Structure 1
Amino acid sequence: MFAADTLEDWLAHLEQLHPSAIDMGLERVARVRDALGLAPTFPILTVGGTNGKGSVCAMLTAMLRAAGYQVGTYTSPHLLAYNERVRINLEPANDDDLVAAFAAVEAARGETTLTYFEFGTLAAMQLFIAADVDVAVLEVGLGGRLDAVNAFDADVAAVVNVDLDHQAYLGDTREKIAFEKAGIYRPGKLAFCADPNPPQALLDVAAQQGAELRLIGRDYSWQMEAEGNQWACATPAGTRHALPLPALRGAYQLGNAALAVAMLDGLRDALPVSLGQIKQGLLEVEWPARCQVLPGRPQTILDVAHNPHAARALRQALDGMGFAANTHAVFGAMMDKDIASVVTILADRIDCWHLAAPQIARAAQVDALAAIVHRVAPQARVERYDSVSLAWSGACEAAGEADRILAFGSFYTVAEVMAARA
C-alpha cells in the first residue's frame, strides 16, 4: 500500500494510479465509498452543467456561510494549488488533512483502481464528514450520471446549462449530453435546470426519475430593477426584491445567482437563509478567473473560457466593460477543444493574439493555434511564444494603458498567467 507524508507525493501517486485519466462509471467509486463507510447525513447540493457550475457553487457557499452554516465545498479543477478543490467554510483544506484523507482512501480501496478525480472526491467527502459540516456543495467533474460526485445522492441537484463540450465522453449532441448531465437528479428530490432551452432528454430523465423539476422561466425567474443596479428573483417561495448585483462580473452571472437563490429556497425548511444573508453572499462571493478584472492599467481580465458556450458569455462580458483601444489576448487551449469555434466567436474583439501552449500534454501546440487564428482571423496580429509566461510578458510589453489584456482559453493557461504574475 502506498504511503507518503507530503501532499505533493500523494498527488504524484494519484496521477499514475489508474491507466486512464477518465474512466466513466460509479461501480468502483461506490465500492470504496462503502468500504470507507461514507454515508453523509447532511444535505447535499450538486451542481452540473457545461459552464457556470463553479460560479453557482461559489454563490451557494457564500450565501450559506453568510447564514452561519458550516459548509464543505468541492470543486474542480484548481488553478494554483490542489487544496483549492476542497474547502471548509471557504478555507482550502490544509496539506495534513488532505494527506490523512488520501491515506484513508488508499487503505480502503484494496485492489480497486481509482482515477485522480475519483480518489479526490472520496477524500473530500471524508473530510466533510470528519468536520461535521451542515451542508456540502459539490461540483460535478464531467457529465453527471457516471461522475464520481454522483456516488452521493443530492438533496437538490441543478444543471446550469447544456452545450457541446467533452463530446468524446458525453456524446456529440445536446440531447446526448443532457441525458448524462440529468443523471444527477434523484427520485422525489428537487431538480433544477437553468438552461432556457432545456433538451428533451433532460426533461425525460427528470420525469423518469420522479424528480421535482423546476425550470428557469417557468418555475423561477429573475429580472432587473432600479435602472440596472438591482434585481429581483421569483421562486415558489416568493419574490426577493432589491438584490445587489453579484460580485462576480458578467451579465450571465445573474442567471447563475438566480439558480443559487432558487436552490436555497428549495432547502429553506432544512437550511433557512434570510434575504439579508442572500444579499451578503452575493456581495462577498469570490471565484477567481471568471471574468476577473485585475486592478491597474492596462485593464487585465482572466477568464477560463474554453468552449463555445463560455466564449459567447465572455464576448458579452467584454462588450459591457467599456472601451479599449486594443485587446491583447494571451491564449492557449487543449487540443481536444473546439478551438476554431472559440476563436471565431471572439475574433472581432481581439486585435493581437499572444499564443503559447500550457505545460500539459493535452495542450494544442503553438503552431496549431497560430494556424487556426490565421485561418479564422487573417487580419489579426499573431505572436508565438515558447511558454505562457513569455506570452504574458509579451502582451504586457505590447499593451498601452488604454489597451486591455485578456488571458483565456484554458484553466491551465490562466493558472500559468497567475503564477507568472505572482
Structure 2
Amino acid sequence: MTRTLDQWLAYQETTNVHEIELGLDRVRRVWQAMGAPRPAPLVITVGGTNGKGSTVALLEGMLRAAGYRTGCYTSPHLVRYNERVRIDGVDAVDADLVASFERIEAARGGTTQTYFEFGTLAAIDLMARAGVDVAILEVGLGGRLDAVNIIDADLVVITTIDLDHQAWLGNDRDSIGREKAGIARAGQPAVVGELAPPEGLLEALRGLGASIERAGSSYWWETQGQGTPEATWRWFHTDGTVRALPRPALAAPVQYANASAAIAALHALRARLTVPDAAIAAALARVQVGGRLQRIGERPLTLVDVGHNPQAARALAAWLDAAPGGGKVFAVYGALADKDVGGVIAALGTRIDRWFLAGLDGDTPRGLPAAALEASLAATLPDASREAHPGVAAAWQAAREAAGEADTILLFGSFFVAGAALSTRA
C-alpha cells in the first residue's frame, strides 16, 4: 500500500511503544541493512542544549556561500516535517521522504524504530543519494545514544550545556556534558562553544581523545557597537588568525557565540574545506532561522522564539535588556511537562509586563495545561500580571488586544507555540 507522507508519519508513531528510546543498536542494525550509507564525504555533527539549530544554519550558509553542496538534518520542525531535511538549502519534498521511508521499512524487518529514528535514517539516505559535499547533522537528544551518533563525524560542535531532558541525561551539567560529549571521535576536532563549559564535558572529550577547540581559549571574539546598525566584530584564533566580520543577521547577543563556533569548526577543517572570509561574511549577513527571535509582525513588534529552558530564557532576557524602545512586553508562553517552567519564568522576571499563558495539553500529551503554568508563575512571581488561556491562538489574540503599537509581543516556550504562531501567520 502506498502511503502519503502524513500517513507515514502517523504510522511511525505506532512502530515503537516508546516515543523516546535511546540506544544505537536498533537504528544501526537497520542502517547496516540499508548498506550503511555515509551521508557525505565530510560530516559535521552539532550537539548541545541550546543554539544547535542556529549553528547548523550558520554552517550551512557559510559552506553554501563558498560553493559547497550541503545536507542538513534538524529537529523538531516548526510547521512542516519536510523542514527537517534540507538538500542544498531546499526542504525535502514529500515524494523523496516517502521513498526513503519505504526503503527503511523494507530494511528494518522486525526491528522497531522510533519516529526520530525513521527521520534520522531518511536524512542519511537522502543526503547520500543526493551526493552532497558536507552533511551537517543536529543531535536530537543528548548525544552518546542519539540515533545521529551511528555516523562517525569528522568534527563535532557542542554549543552549550544546561539542565534539560534530565530524565534521560542526568541531573547536573557534568552528567549532561558527558552524554553530549559522546558524539566526538578520537583524533577529530571537537569545538566547545560555551565560555564556561562543565568539567564533565571536557573530561569526557579528553577521555575520547578528541582534539578540543574551546571558546575563550583556542578562539575568542570581541564585538564593537553591538546593537547598532554599524556593529562589527572580530574573531580570533590562537594561531594568529583574525577575521573582521559584520554582525549576524540573527538577533540575539548569543548568536555571536554560535557564529564563532561555526567559524571555529570551519577553521579546524581548513585542510579539507576552503571557506573564504567573504563567504563567512555573506552568510552572517543573511542567515535567518525560523523561531529564533523571528519577527512576524510590527506595531506591535511580534517575535517568535523556541526558547524552552532556563538557559534559553536567559538569552531572551539579554536580548530584551539590549533591545531599544520603551513599550511594554507581553509574553505568550506555553511549555511541555518536562520543562523547568519556574526556571524560565525566573530568568525573564519583571522584564515581562503581562503573561498570557497558553495551555498545550490540546496539542500534545506532553503539554502543560494553562492552570499548571499559572500555578508555576504564581509560585515564582506572585505579583506578576497574568491570564490563562486554553491554547496559543486564544492567548495570542488576548495579547494583541492588550498591546499598543509601541509594545512587544513575545511568543515563546515551546516548538508547539512557535509552530502555532507561524502556521497562523502563514
TM-score, length basis structure 2: 0.96
Per-residue CA distance 1:317-361 (angstroms, 9 max, x = gap): 111111242111111100110001111111201111111112111
| Greater Cα offset, 118-127 or 31-40 | 31-40
Aligned to 2:400: 396
Q: 2:18 aligns with which of 12, 17, 20?
A: 20
- Aligned AA for 1:162? I
Deviation readout 1:80-113 (Å, 9 max, x if unpaired): 0000000011110000000001111111011111
Which residue in the other structure is 2:172 paired with?
Answer: 173
Aligned-pair Cα RMSD in Å:
1.3
Contact 1:4 1:10 in 2 (8 A): no
Measured in 2, the distance between the counterparts of 1:75 and 1:29 equals 17
Change (3 A) 1:346 1:225: closer
Q: Secondary structure at the match of 2:14?
A: helix
Superposed displacement of residue 237, structure 1 = 5.4
Q: Is the 8 A contact 2:359 2:369 kept in 1?
A: yes
2:313 — aligned with what?
311
**Match for 1:37 among 25, 35, 51?**
35
- Which residue matches 1:61? 60
Distance in 1 between residues matched to 2:294 and 2:225, nearest whole Å: 25
- Map residues 293-332 of structure 1 onto 2, 5 A cutoff: 293-332=295-334
Query: Does structure 1 residue 193 correspond to structure 2 residue 197?
Result: no
Partner of residue 271, structure 1: 273
Deviation at 1:138, TM superposition (A): 0.6
**Which residue matches 2:150?**
151
**How far did 1:159 drift?**
0.8
The aligned residue for residue 242 of structure 1 is 244
Query: How far apart in 1 are the matches of 2:45 and 2:128?
Result: 16
Work out the number of aligned pairs and report it: 420
Q: Which runs of structure 2 are paired with 1:212-231 in the superposition (5 Å)? A: 212-225=211-224, 229-231=231-233
SS at match of 1:100: helix
8 Å CA contact retained: 2:223, 2:234: yes
Answer yes or no: is 1:7 the counterpart of 2:17.
no
Q: Deviation per CA, 1:204-262, whole angstroms, max 9, x where unpaired?
A: 22222111111111111111246771111113554333201111011110010000001
Letter in 1 for 2:53: G
Question: What is the identity, as a one-letter code, of the residue corresponding to 1:289?
Answer: G
1:16 aligns to what SS in structure 2? coil
Q: 1:31 to 1:345 in 2, by over 3 A?
A: same
Residue equivalent to 2:335? 333
Of all paired residues, the percent bearing the same amino acid is 48
Is the contact made by 2:194 and 2:257 (CA closer than 8 Å) also made in structure 1?
no
Aligned letter for 1:193? V
- Partner AA of 1:127 in structure 2: L
Match of 1:106 in 2: 105
For residues 86-105 of structure 1, what are the structure 2 equivalents within 5 Å?
Answer: 86-105=85-104
Deviation at 1:293, TM superposition (A): 2.5
Residues in 2 aligned to 1:242 and 1:200: alpha-carbon distance in whole angstroms? 31
Give the TM-score, by structure 1 length.
0.97
Q: Does the 8 Å CA contact 2:369/2:390 hold for their aligned counterparts?
A: no
Q: How many Å separate the matches in 2 of 1:405 and 1:355?
A: 13
- Which runs of 5 or more residues in structure 1 are unaligned? none
**2:208 is matched with which residue?**
209
Alpha-carbon distance between aligned partners in 2 of 1:186 and 1:243, rounded to the nearest angstrom: 31
Taking the TM superposition and a 5 Å limit, the aligned residue runs for 1:247-266 are 247-266=249-268
